[in-house]
Structure 1
């Protein structure tokens, strides 16, 4: 077992790289395919590192004799202290400043979207996310609909880690150049938090730039 502790470090010596890839393809106006792979890379740590390592150990303990415990308390206490000291010696970590590397938490996303009209669309997606050595795969679908230029509502179903059913919902409100977003991956966590395994929520604010060209048709 090995445990590494990160301490404040200088900008020199600890270097890495990261790559984000993605594309969007629309063979027709009604269908769009998109894919992305982000956080591909690693960081090499060589400056101001401090690590602690515990080697595998085996302990054989046969207990204490009952008469020894009742009749000779001094020797029993001495035996217990000796045993505790030996355990402490076995599990004393070894310090080191070895170089090591850590992989970034990569994220892979695949999706296909069908545009039913200019105001409504449905998306089916697959997401594979790595977080600190563990991989979480999700499969789901989302339907979204615009109500004028101001409001967009979305909702769907998601199979998180390919076993837990989630109900994602969200909305986007456009107020002039400001765009406000509210989203949760599991609406059950909002309604009944005690029954939800996963709780998540996101609030976003965006600013839109550019000229909104509107064409006025006259006879």
Structure 2
């Protein structure tokens, strides 16, 4: 029972969140400045905007793939040991993921130069925490059931794939209307790494066979590596802090490393919007083409080599010569010599998880009133000077993100409805590897210069959060000045 409790604890600490980083509700929501972050080439008529610090953009995504808390802890009369074994250990596979992502805008703003009315510049700083871990299927089998009665079975070490990072991103973007039908944009980024860890290029196996001098013979063939940066400095800060300091030392480390005093990298976002005709628009963007060079505080751990052991062997009468010998320690020393566990401080480069968006949108239903009466933008096609305004939009979106086990995709259908100047709603249906019942709703409100938006995904699952495989929430508050048409 103790083994089951420990396994459940480790499982659900790891399953605290899973993410795709897909912002399908925000994408191409042209009334919201933060939509420029997912498509720098979005059509926009902002004169200028200023985000409220720490409140202009908050995004949290969480969930599980293949398993929910309800699957294990539901009061359904089934034994928890059986549920862990059948639904977790033997129910998940190496394609299932566990992780979390959080983004917080620390500073954001944008403006349209008076002498270049077709350009719009945006800038800011945001914080990101990102973690992903694929389910280590064979290692879970080995950890739960052990290798008893598993002669000849190879447990794959390459099932272990995980990565995580904490960083701040400094960015500056240019959005330009090339002509009445085409808008393009680019965003340059500087990454300031706070903490990074990854173990994705593992190889090897563990196998048990019949022994020659003992009952069983175990063989380990390993080429494994865990790379970290920032961990040692953060660990020292935790050790140095004393009660009553309120984590001052740790906070100083996060501030220093997050504001260009840690690992540094460069990135680029690109995007466009193109009107096929007056009512049909296609868009696309590629985000985070970039890397981070981890050099400020690297610490890496490796396990490389091959070893075969038949366990503790006590050979009489030779063992009587040294009856106080530590046979277990001798065994450990022998294995460590054959498969050395080492560490180093080599610098390394990590490439960012690149994301790709695309959409097609059809707009219809001109609103009441004339274009001259409106100085807010809810036009979704046509040039800024055309004065065309549409109440409704519908279409489809595609999202792809690069992951350690290959691309991960999602498709979305959406409908957007505008109610005059003050209110706009966007409803989405998304299908991906986490759920096929993801219905989301985004709300944007404009009260004078004050802009407020709220968005949530997978609304059907909110009636039982514990049984949900995915949830997403976004919130933002801005001050906006619109360009008159």
Cα distance change, pair 180–14 in 1 and its aligned pair in 2 (3 A) = closer
1:173 pairs with 2:445: yes
Deviates more, 1:139-148 or 1:74-83: 74-83
CA distance in 2, matches of 1:99, 1:171: 45
Size of the aligned set, in residue pairs, is 207
Question: Partner of 2:302 in structure 1?
Answer: 53
TM-score, scaled relative to structure 1: 0.78
Deviates more, 1:17-26 or 1:188-197: 188-197
1:34 lines up with 2:283 in the alignment: yes
Contact 1:138 1:162 in 2 (8 A): no
Distance 1:75 1:41, change over 3 A: same
SS, match of residue 145 in structure 1? strand
Tell me, in whole angstroms, the C-alpha distance in 2 between the residues paired with 1:12 and 1:147. Answer: 47
CA distance in structure 1 between the partners assigned to 2:305 and 2:461 by the alignment: 42
What residue ranges of structure 1 are gaps of 5+ in the alignment?
A: 214-219
Find the aligned partners of 2:302 and 2:430 in 1 and give their Cα distance: 40
Q: Between 162-171 and 30-39, report the one with greater CA deviation.
A: 162-171
When residues 188 and 59 of structure 1 are mapped into structure 2, their CA distance, relative to the original with a 3 A threshold, is farther
Shift of 1:29: 1.7
User: 2:229–2:294: 8 Å Cα contact kept in structure 1?
Assistant: no
Q: TM-score, normalised on structure 2?
A: 0.38
Report Cα offsets for 1:60-101 as digits up to 9, x if no partner. 335779xx9xxx9x9698433433444555665322222321
Larger proportion of helix: 2
Corresponding residue of 1:217: none
Q: Which has the higher strand share?
A: 1
Larger Rg: 1
Q: Does 1:148 align with 2:391?
A: no
Could you say what the CA RMSD is over the residues aligned between the two structures, in angstroms? 3.3
Write out aligned runs for 1:77-92 (5 A). 78-87=326-335
What is the CA distance between 1:102 and its match in structure 2?
Answer: 0.6
Determine the C-alpha separation between the residues in 2 that align with 1:179 and 1:133: 39
Q: CA deviation at 1:211?
A: 5.5
Deviates further, 50-59 or 200-209? 50-59
Aligned twin of 1:127: 399
CA contact (8 A) 2:362 2:395 kept: yes
More contact order relative to length (CA 8 Å, sep ≥ 6): 2
1:196/1:13 CA distance change after superposition, 3 Å: closer
Distance verdict in 2 for CA 1:160–1:192, change over 3 Å:
same
Deviations 1:102-134 (A, max 9, x none): 101211100000002211111201001235676
